Structure 1
């Protein structure tokens, strides 16, 4: 079996250059903390629920600028967002329990 050292060396140098380029791209990409992302998601759900509550109140008080369809769509959006957040929380708790039950 004949291995061509020059070709292998050239291939390794090429891969090394690509790895350096990828590392440079990763360093310049903004990093977001998971807790920050989760906090933003919870804040967005809270905002949707507050908007829905405001629209419901305005509709109940007879505000002509607010239609029933707006209230119902807003309620569905906030309900779906809340359900999705609860599912993410459930998965996180399940993952935490799995990790804590792992033998060390």
Structure 2
């Protein structure tokens, strides 16, 4: 369990580092387009970066899970063919990773459905 938590924390940190590098690249890209809002300045302010909408973020996550599952199927097929680059350990790790990603996606979906039902059942 501790390894799973450490893995999730390391992924979060890598995403934060990626976002920081993207924000740095957006700030160093040059002058803003005419009519664009000025970038925030000052202590603790970061340049304005257009964040993806919730629908886009959810769609990207689903596509990522689908890609992970497709890669796992390809690795399993390569192992069955006897490809020396597809050893059993890699196949098992890929299968577990895609399984965890799918279960996490299903859990997010369940929570979204529950939140929707809670909102719809609120008294006016």
User: Does the TM-score normalized on the shorter chain lie above 0.5?
Assistant: yes
Higher helix fraction (1 or 2) = 1
4+ long deviations beyond 6 Å: none
Runs of 5+ unmatched residues, structure 1: 1-19
For 1:54, the equivalent position in structure 2 comes to 74
- The answer to whether the 8 A contact 2:78-2:86 is kept is yes
For 1:71, the equivalent position in structure 2 comes to 91
For 2:114, the equivalent position in structure 1 comes to 94
Q: In the comparison of the two structures, how many residue pairs are matched?
A: 83
Using CA pairs below 8 Å that are at least 6 residues apart, which structure has the higher relative contact order? 1
Q: Which has more radius of gyration?
A: 1
For residues 26-79 of structure 1, the C-alpha deviation after alignment (integer angstroms, 9 at most, x for no partner) is 882322200000000000000010000000000001111110001000001000
Q: CA RMSD in A?
A: 1.9
TM-score normalized with structure 2 length:
0.62
